[in-house]
Amino acid sequence: MEPDRDDTASPAMTRPTWMQVDLGAISRNASAIMAHAGARDMIAVLKADGYGHGAVPVARQLYRANGVRRFAVATVDEGVRLRAGLDGLDEAPEILLLGAQDVAMVPVMCAHGLSAVVDGPAWLDAAVALVPDGATLRVHLELDTGMGRVGVPTCEGLADLYGRVRANPRLELRGVATHFATADVAEADDLFVRQAHAFVACLERLGIPRDLWHCANSPACVWHAGAVPTETIRVGNALFGYGLSDLTDTPDGLRLEPVFELKTRVLSARLVRRGDPVSYGATWTADADRWVGTLPIGYADGYRRAFQGMPVLVNGEFQQVVGRISMDQTIVTLPGPVPVGTPVTLLGTDGAHRVTLADYAARAGAIGAEIVLGLSPRIYRVYRGGDVR
């Protein structure tokens, strides 16, 4: 899909509500993180359709603009779709499946060139038996240093897997990893320090080449790049400008740009009189004669009922969501009798003002990723500032 250069809408759009994604900003974030971490290689994590931004356009942008050749997703289906979307590139990138996978999917992994994380010796034994004749299964080993989700919990267990994989021609070792549980704080806590030490000590003891190591996720890259190996980094939400799971600001010297805006248009405008209620439950009543507009977005689009009262921007001025948000529609105050079709910025910048992802997260008691991932496919994704051929 080519980037749409008109931020008002795409010709294919049947409903004027869209998420405008700046692919150039994603590239700049990737470059900034690489430089900050001193990394040589990046595994770009694009699970959940690129954190809701579109895995294929983002991957193509990172491939062409940043030289990224390794991507990660969460499920086999995501991996198959991403592989199909990257067809035709000069060099087929690696696509890693993060987390534990159903071993019955090994033939599918082999057919589509997907790499799997080995969850333990039993998984590995079952996987080897399912590798088709003449095929190779690409694998990453994981040392569970304290996350408690995937991988083997001891260095001895990792040594056993490492030996098995190296000795089996049906397997190709692509990486050895761990995952930090508490990296998303500015001051390293005891668990983070223990995890980092255990990972480095074990891999050094086993003589595993450093070009196979990867442990630095987004918050580790941002806050602890000097404390962990960062030759290869795994970066997900930081690519999209909201950095850390708790929305903590980035440290001095690292600037991450917001990469998307959420926009819509007024589809109906009307004058409500003082004392008139709007929307379900009559939870808001006009305190004076006031113009309001109906927008084509609602909680079925991921614009949650909790966002009642949120600021929005109309003609560069702050207005407010009033009344309950319904499944498909939202009502906002207007500065006056604006024309139908007037743009409304729900998240992003208009003039001198901005509504941020952090504003929405605070309102919903959530983290930024939850808000973005909640934006449904009914919202069109419009791409600017990049090359996704």
Write the CATH number for 145: 3.20.20.10
Of 240, 268, 302, which closes a domain? 240
Q: CB–CB of 266/334 below 8 Å?
A: yes
Residue 111 lies in a domain: yes
pLDDT score at 245: 45
One domain for residues 236 and 267: no
Dihedral (Cα; 222, 44, 76, 83), 10-degree rounding: 170
User: Has residue 316 been placed in a domain?
Assistant: yes
Chain mean position to CA 329 = 26
Same domain, 335 and 306: yes
Helices (H) and strands (E) in the chain, counts: 11, 20
Matching residue, tokens 């930090």: 180
Closest CA to 309 of 257, 263, 355: 355
Q: Are residues 236 and 270 in the same domain?
A: no
Give pLDDT, residue 6.
Answer: 42
Annotated catalytic residue, options 47, 63, 242, 263: 47
Q: Give the pLDDT score at 10.
A: 58
Residue 163 lies in a domain: yes
Per-residue pLDDT at 244: 52
Residue 129 to residue 366: CA distance in whole angstroms: 43
Question: Are 232 and 322 found together in one domain?
Answer: no
Q: Is residue 386 part of a domain?
A: no
Q: Are 345 and 236 part of one and the same domain? A: no
Report pLDDT for 4. 37
Q: Is 47 a catalytic residue?
A: yes
Does residue 208 sit in the same domain as residue 270?
Answer: no
Mark whether 171 and 286 lie in a shared domain.
no
Full residue range of the structural domain in which residue 165 is found? 23-240
CATH number at residue 271: 2.40.37.10
Per-residue pLDDT of the chain (389 residues; tens, 9 = 90+): 333 334 555 556 899 999 999 999 999 999 999 999 999 999 999 999 999 999 999 999 999 999 999 999 999 999 999 999 999 999 999 999 999 999 999 999 999 999 999 999 999 999 999 999 999 999 999 999 999 999 999 999 999 999 999 999 999 999 999 999 999 888 888 999 999 999 999 999 999 999 999 999 999 999 998 899 999 999 999 999 875 544 456 777 788 999 999 999 999 999 999 999 999 999 999 999 999 999 999 999 999 999 999 999 999 999 999 999 999 999 999 999 999 999 999 999 999 999 999 899 999 999 888 999 999 999 999 999 886 66
pTM of the model: 0.93
> Of 312, 280, 316, 317, whose CA–CA distance to 295 is shortest?
312
Helix, strand, coil abundance in the chain, percent, nearest 5: 35, 25, 40
For the chain, the domain total comes to 2
User: From the candidates 63, 280, 360, 383, which is the catalytic residue?
Assistant: 280
Which parts of the chain fold into alpha helices (H)? 23-37, 47-51, 55-66, 76-85, 106-111, 121-130, 155-167, 190-206, 218-223, 357-364, 368-373
The verdict on 236 and 269 lying in the same domain is no
Q: Does some domain include residue 16?
A: no
**142 and 277 part of one domain:** no
Same domain, 278 and 234: no
What whole-number distance in Å separates Cα of residue 326 and Cα of residue 268? 15
Last residue in a domain, options 193, 212, 240: 240
Q: Do 149 and 35 share a structural domain?
A: yes
Within-domain flag for 231: yes
Q: Which of 240, 268, 285 is the last residue of a domain?
A: 240
Residue 375 counted as domain residue:
no
In a domain, 387, yes or no: no
Same structural domain, 223 and 281: no
Neighbours of 289 (CB within 10 A): 11
